[in-house]
Structures are given as C-alpha cells and as structure tokens.
Amino acid sequence: MYLIERYILAETRRLVMLIVGFLVFIFASYSAQRYLTEAANGTLALQVVLDIVFYKVLIALEMLLPVGLYVSVAIALGQLYNDSEITAIYASGSSPLRLYKAVLILAIPLGILVTLLSMYGRPWAYAQIYQLKLQSESELDVSHLQPKKFNINDNGRMILAEHIDLTSQRLSDALIYTLSSSKTHVYRTHSLEVIDPSPNTPSVVLHSGTAYTLDHTGADDKEQIYNNLKLQLKPLEQSADVKSKSASAAELSRSSDPADTAELQWRESRGINAVLMALLAVSLSRTKPRQGRYATLLPLAILFTAIFYGGNICRTLVANGSLPFLPGLWFVPLIMSIGVVILIAREFAVMQKLFR
C-alpha cells in the first residue's frame, strides 16, 4: 500500500472507531433507559432488558457503521484540506482517485460487514427480541408483575392486583382487562390463580368475582357473577411488521407481499449505500485553506438527511405498491452513484484548473 493511502486510511480508521463507539454508547444508553422504564412499570421482565439492548444495538449497527464512516471521511479529509496537504498531494502529481482508493480500502470491508449484519444479523436479532418479549409479556409469570400497578402488554391486556404471592402463583383483589375488536372484557376477582403461564395458552382461574362484557356498539352489555371461572387469555400475536423484519432473506424472496419485497431491498442496499456515502464524503469534504475541517459538516448533514429519508420514503412507497419493485429502493443508490461520478469529474476539473 502506498504512503498516501496508508496515511489517509490510518486517520479515517481511528475516527471511525471513536465515532461508532460513541454512537453505540449513546444508543445503548437510550435503549436501556427505555426498557428499564418498561420493566419498572411491569410491562417487561427486568432480566431480559440487557439482552434486548444488545439485540437493539446489533440492529442499529447497520446504520451506525455507515454514519461513522461517512462522518470520519469528511472530518479526516477536511483536516487534510485545511492543512493544505491535499493540495500538496495533487501538486506532487497524484491523482484524486488516490483519495477514493484510500477510502475504498476501508469502505468496502465495512460495506460487506453492513450487508452481512443487515441480511442475517438484523432478522436474527428481531426474532430474538420478539421471543423475549413474547415470554415476558404474554407469559403469566407473576415474578415480574408489580402489585398495585397496571401491568400492560402489547396485546392490550392489563392486570392489576393488590397483592401478589410468588409462592402460590396467586393474585388477590385483582382486575383483568382485555380488549377485542368488538368487545371489552373486565374481570374483578377476590383471588386469581395462574394455572398455565405458557405464551401460547395463558390461562387463569378466577375465584369469586364479577365479569363484565361491554359491547362496543352498546347493544349487548353483560354482567356475570361467578365462582371458579377458568379464563383462557389471548396470547401475544406477532405483528406483520415484526414478521417481515424477522423473516430470513429466502422467505422474503419467496413472498409476493410488497412489504416483504421492500424489506428485502432495504437489507440488500445497506452495504452499497455505506460505500457510496463514503465516496460522496470524499468530494464534499473539500474546504479552503484555514477554513476549518468542520466547515462542510452542514452540507454533509443535509445530504445524509436526504439519503436517509429518501430511502425510508422509497421503502414505504414500495411496501404500499405505489413504487414499482424496479427501481424500488435501488433508486436512492442509483442517484448516489450518479452523484459520485459527477463529483469525481469535478475533482479532475478543479485539479486541472489549479495546476494547468
């Protein structure tokens, strides 16, 4: 490897490690705070919080790594422009392509890593998160239910109990609220015993209480006084969005659902986008001498915002059938590729103007 490429690569690699490490720390802290709040509210078991945070960080790496590389290239080359080192490199007869070559040496392996994370790591992590939430929220595990609090899961079920006995799996002075598309069910009981805590068939026995069925149309409201009522509760269902995100690439490729096609194209394009973003940062990092290496961060931030939201908009349009599968989400990488070619041509035009 030549001296110029090695010099640029060393500075960029150091910044990538610092920036990505900082972003991972911030994201993990935010996720931990969010899920610890859910655990404190009784909607999530405390022991699964760290596992979920780990999986969330793994999912986020497909975005954090490209962002770290993008910003690192801009800052590293911006400093070289600020110190007139790039001008000296060009004056020595070196081609602007050597800057792109140096960045590609780091960007290509990182793009491959992002592609692997997006294609295999991301769906695996989503599947693990779903299983943890299923066990924590759908299971009637009284060990994580909080007394005198509304314990709510994503299925719309709420359990409130005055006292909880972990040994006998009993809840005293309890209230159960469940919601369906047409009716609301409220069960008030002096004593509740968990007989099946499994995620698929959660069930309880209610000892002495009153049940209310509230028809959403108001035509068939009912009240029932019972003793020893066995109640089969609705298990937590996996949403269509979670199913798509946790599905393997092979499952998505066989599906005719536009949402699955959008998810597959999103995964496939992550690594290519990471490389193209790094190449765009090479040209956009140009600054005038003594202008400062952070002078280009605003246009770079605007460009990143356009790329990020452009990808999300295309993904939504493909998912709802408003945008055809081709180009689909590949429209954004196509525009980025054209931009890279234009900027490289500009680099050569600027160099010829300076050293003619």
pLDDT tens digits for range 29-64: 998 888 888 777 666 667 788 888 999 999 999 999
Q: Which amino acid is at 287?
A: T
pLDDT of residue 194: 81
What's the first-to-final CA gap in the chain, in angstroms?
A: 29
225 and 210 in contact (C-beta within 8 Å)?
yes
189 and 206 in contact (C-beta within 8 Å)?
yes
Degrees to nearest 5, angle at CA 94 with 282 and 70: 10
pLDDT of residue 259: 87
Cα 291 to Cα 284: distance, rounded to the nearest angstrom: 14
Cα 99 to Cα 289: distance, rounded to the nearest angstrom: 18
**What Rg do the C-alpha atoms of the chain give, in angstroms?**
28
pLDDT lower than 50: segments of the chain: 138, 355
Query: Which residue's structure tokens are 């497909």?
Result: 62
pLDDT of residue 344: 81
Give the residue from 64, 83, 110 showing the smallest Cα distance to 279.
Answer: 110
pLDDT of residue 249: 86
pLDDT of residue 116: 94
Cα 139 to Cα 312: distance, rounded to the nearest angstrom: 34
Whole-structure pTM value: 0.73
pLDDT of residue 43: 62
